Structure 1
Amino acid sequence: MVSRESLAAVLRLARARRGLSRDQLNAQAKIEPRHLQRLENAKTGVTLEMLGSIAKALGYDPIALLIIASSYDGRTSVAERLLSIKKELADLDALRIASDLPNHFAKGELIAERAGRSLSEDVVREVLACRDKGLSQRQTAERNEVHQSTVSRIWRQNPT
């Protein structure tokens, strides 16, 4: 994990070593001066978009800044952290995360998922079987360990 404090120090050092004042970085990254000051003093967190904007203005990849901060937090060298990340990337690759990523986008936009936990078809089948046996929604919810509103939704979506 990257702490707010270590990332603040990395941002502050990178800006200073690039010879940029906060005002210059504010202008390049198009962020509010007060916000950059608060970021560099670990008084506020950073969004991914804002980190991307700051990193671009500094001439770095945001991942590089995060790796430096993560190395500091983990009390490891950057080389050790990179080795760890390489192993994690191999694990993610084995899970086919990168290759399946395009399936979650349509026309460049992330495909939204429905809210709530997903239910297995077995649970839905069991809830419907309880309805068919004449159990109440409350009894069905207790028997299947799901919320009563979930039972109600399943019954509405699957009319008899």
Structure 2
Amino acid sequence: MVSRESLAAVLRLARARRGLSRDQLNAQAKIEPRHLQRLENAKTGVTLEMLGSIAKALGYDPIALLIIASSYDVQTSVAERLVSIKKELAELDAVRIASDLPNHFAEGKLIAERAGRSLSEDVVREVLVCRDEGLNQRKTAERLGIHQSTVSRIWRKT
């Protein structure tokens, strides 16, 4: 977790070390002057897009800025934090997050998922069995312990 305060301090320090005034950074990052002032004083949070713009204007990778802020938050050195992050990246790699990522995009756009909780195939199958047995939606919902609107939605779709 990166706190608003630690990221604000990192942004402030990075800007100062680059010898940039807020006005100069505002012009380069194309953000509102008041917004940068509020970011550097931890009065507002930053979006990923905004952080990317600021980091680019400063000449840093946004991940590097986040790692420094994160290491401060967990009270460890940057080197120790990187070791911890490397372990987490290995765990994510083991569950194939990176390799499966392309499956969630089509033509460079994220594929939207439907809202709501996903239902297992077993639940859908049980609902359809109840329907085939002649149970109504209310009785099916009671038997399976799910909401009647869920039963109704399954019946409409199949």
TM-score band w.r.t. shorter chain: over 0.9
Whether 2:39 is the aligned partner of 1:22: answer no
Aligned sequence identity (%) = 91
- Cα distance in 2, alignment partners of residues 142 and 23 from structure 1: 64
Unaligned runs of 5+ in 1: none
> Structure 1, residues 97-129: CA drift from partner, whole Å, max 9, x if none?
111111111111111111111111100011112
- Cα distance in 2, alignment partners of residues 153 and 100 from structure 1: 30
> How far did 1:57 drift?
0.4
Aligned twin of 1:44: 44
SS in structure 2 at match of 1:72:
helix
* Farther-moved stretch of structure 1 (135-144 vs 14-23): 135-144
- Cα distance in 1, alignment partners of residues 145 and 43 from structure 2: 43
User: TM-score, structure 2 length as denominator?
Assistant: 0.95
> How far did 1:133 drift?
2.6
> Structure 1, residues 16-35: CA drift from partner, whole Å, max 9, x if none?
11111111001000011111
User: TM-score, structure 1 length as denominator?
Assistant: 0.94
> Structure 1, residues 44-99: CA drift from partner, whole Å, max 9, x if none?
11100000000000000000000000000000110010000000111111111111
- Cα distance in 2, alignment partners of residues 142 and 38 from structure 1: 53
Residue-pair matches, total = 158
> How far did 1:135 drift?
2.7
RMSD in angstroms over aligned alpha carbons?
Answer: 1.2
> Structure 1, residues 139-158: CA drift from partner, whole Å, max 9, x if none?
3223323222211110101x
- Cα distance in 2, alignment partners of residues 43 and 147 from structure 1: 43
